[in-house]
Amino acid sequence: MANTTTITGNLTREPEIRYTREGQATAQLGVAVNRRWQDRTTQEWQESTSFFDVICWRDLAENVALSLTKGMRVVVTGRLEQRSWETEEGEHRSKVEITADEVGPSLRFATADVQRVERRGAITPDGESGAVTDALPVEA
């Protein structure tokens, strides 16, 4: 069974990009997802917000860091992963994060201008090593 989820929400902070010792890019995002519904008994509107941590890797991380800013509405598709660690005080902690496969601006309330970017060291369709272009969305 596939462990895939899709969320749509607003970025709660600027994407934070870092690089591993091996030079691999990773970006962390915070996404707030709002839900609004009407209580059938009272007819009053209710609202709830869920906050998700999203991790991006490699080219996706770099493109996200270049394209998205705090407050933008985004669509994220990826897999849920649980991470566990121990604090300096010896307490066990864990959290569930989304490791993103795709991230893009939501076009429900905005438009985007898509620009192609060159990937380094990619294999071209004819099997040669060279530059291949991918689409990079830019908020308009």
Question: Is 59 within a domain?
Answer: yes
Which residue range forms the structural domain that includes residue 29? 5-37+47-107
pLDDT of residue 78: 97
**31: Cα within 13 Å, side-chain hemisphere:** 28
Question: Is 73 within a domain?
Answer: yes
Token code pair at residue 127: 């099997």
Low-confidence ranges of the chain (pLDDT < 70): 1-2, 119-140
pLDDT of residue 120: 62
Q: How far apart are CA 128 and CA 121, in angstroms?
A: 10
pLDDT of residue 126: 52
121 with 129: CB under 8 angstroms?
yes
What is the domain-level CATH number for residue 29? 2.40.50.140
15 with 30: CB under 8 angstroms?
no
Q: How far apart are CA 84 and CA 72, in angstroms?
A: 29
pLDDT of residue 139: 47
| CB within 8 Å of 12: residues ≥ 6 apart | 30, 31, 32, 51, 70
73 with 106: CB under 8 angstroms?
yes
Question: Is 56 within a domain?
Answer: yes
Question: Is 118 within a domain?
Answer: no
pTM: 0.74
Please state the domain count of the chain: 1
pLDDT of residue 112: 84
Q: Convert the pLDDT of each residue in 85-96 to its tens digit.
A: 999 999 999 988
**32: Cα within 13 Å, side-chain hemisphere:** 12
pLDDT of residue 111: 87
pLDDT of residue 119: 65
Question: Is 134 within a domain?
Answer: no
Token code pair at residue 115: 């620009």
Question: Is 92 within a domain?
Answer: yes
